[in-house]
Amino acid sequence: MPIHAQPPYRQVPYEKQTAKFSAGNRLQSIGWSFKGLVWFVSHTHAFWIQALLCAAIMGFASTLPGMTSTDWALLAMSAGLIFVTECLNTAIEIVVDRISTEFHDLSGLAKDVAAGAVMIAVIVALVIASIVIVPKLG
């Protein structure tokens, strides 16, 4: 199922991309970043499922004695890794769908590899959560 972005999305000319530093341009870039993040959060169901699971794990961890700031940092970075890879996966899906909505083996492969990156991030996060949480259950 193709993902439909809300127009108008911008294309910045190359000359503007290589222009000298400008605070106004940086603020505009931050605005575009927030626009993309808002779109991602409001249109991606996988984000909400992953956010709910991360919140459940963090909530459970908050009940455990002996959680250190390092433990919390590891859990937070693990959750962040999942969200970053999901965001990149979504961007890849959008670009592939933008190029063509027709089926092509390479398009499917690109999407599968990007989804595989999310799976790796989830597995790594679960391993880290297990390393942090399991010893505190005893």
Provide the CATH number for the domain around residue 83: 1.10.287.3610
89 lies in which domain range? 45-137
Predicted TM-score (pTM) of the model is 0.81
Identity (one letter) of the amino acid at 49? I
Count of CB atoms situated within 10 Å of the CB of 33: 10
Asked if 92 contacts 111 with a C-beta cutoff of 8 angstroms, the reply is yes
Closest CA to 92 of 74, 121, 112: 112
Q: What is the pLDDT of residue 3?
A: 54
Is 16 among the domain residues? no
Asked if 86 contacts 50 with a C-beta cutoff of 8 angstroms, the reply is yes
d(CA 120, CA 85): 9
| Higher pLDDT, residue 37 or 138 | 37
Q: Read off the pLDDT of residues 35-78 as tens digits, 9 standing for 90 and up.
A: 999 999 999 999 999 999 999 999 999 999 999 999 999 999 99
Asked if 85 contacts 125 with a C-beta cutoff of 8 angstroms, the reply is no
Is 14 among the domain residues? no
Catalytic residues: 86
